Amino acid sequence: MSASSSATRQVLILGATSAVAAEVAVLCAARGDRLHLVGRNPDKLAEVARRCAPAQVSTQTADFAQLDQNEDCVNRALSALGRVDCVLIAHGDLGDQLASEQNFGEAERILRVNFTSVVSLLIPLANHLEQAKAGSLGVITSVAGERGRPRNYTYGAAKGALNIYLQGLRTRLYASGVSVTTLKLGPVDTPMTRDHKKHILFGKPQSVARSILHALDAEVSEAYVPSFWRATMPIVKNTPEWLFQRLPFLSGR
């Protein structure tokens, strides 16, 4: 992260009550970082803060789906920290793919939660860090954004759009000394995937959190988490469509 090792790092986590983000918060707290945690559920926020004790932690409730409130949310968070060295945006929702195919309301909700709301947070955050000429931004996306698949293409479309947005933002902020890390997660065994059949490719929140923190510290441009997805996804992405459609393990529901 951008702050020197001799200084207490100021870390802002948006979507802090997700299973993965909570583990990142605990790791940051264990090494002495100052944390400001933002999430929708005050009880869950309090529990994450409790797990981070005795580190200095403050919390703030917000519903990121309320797009017109997100700039104020960011400004309040920045005021609470005074200075921010690292930001992690970690919220998201798989949604109901089948419902999104029949009902625009569900499709729009998935796009809003996973793309539009993130952009509404990134705009004020990026402007602040650009003016400060320091800091790092990490945003959790998904390998689902690499290729549209019948089982999750509405969610994947949102994540794919976010990947492109982050590419442009990263180049824009480069001259200011601000890093932007795209964190492309594979499936993780969390409450968000409780209805999914688990297999060997599912990551665990604790190990995924360690990989995320390593990527943020190194200020890499893009990280696949777990790392084996870096070798796997080019195959998925570049398989010809005529073949992709004939391979049930790729094209099935």
Q: Is 188 left (phi over 0), alpha (psi -120 to 50) or beta?
A: beta
How much is the pLDDT for 129? Answer: 98
| pLDDT (tens digit per residue) in 139-166 | 999 999 999 999 999 999 999 999 999 9
- Mean of pLDDT over the chain: 92
Strand, coil or helix: 141: strand
| pLDDT (tens digit per residue) in 166-190 | 999 999 999 999 999 999 999 887 6
Q: What mean pLDDT comes out for the span 217-233?
A: 93
> Can you list the alpha helix ranges (DSSP code H) found in the chain?
19-30, 42-51, 70-81, 97-102, 104-111, 117-132, 153-174, 205-218, 229-238, 241-244, 248-251
How much is the pLDDT for 6? Answer: 45
Ordered domains of the chain (ranges, CATH): 10-251 (3.40.50.720)
pTM for this prediction: 0.91
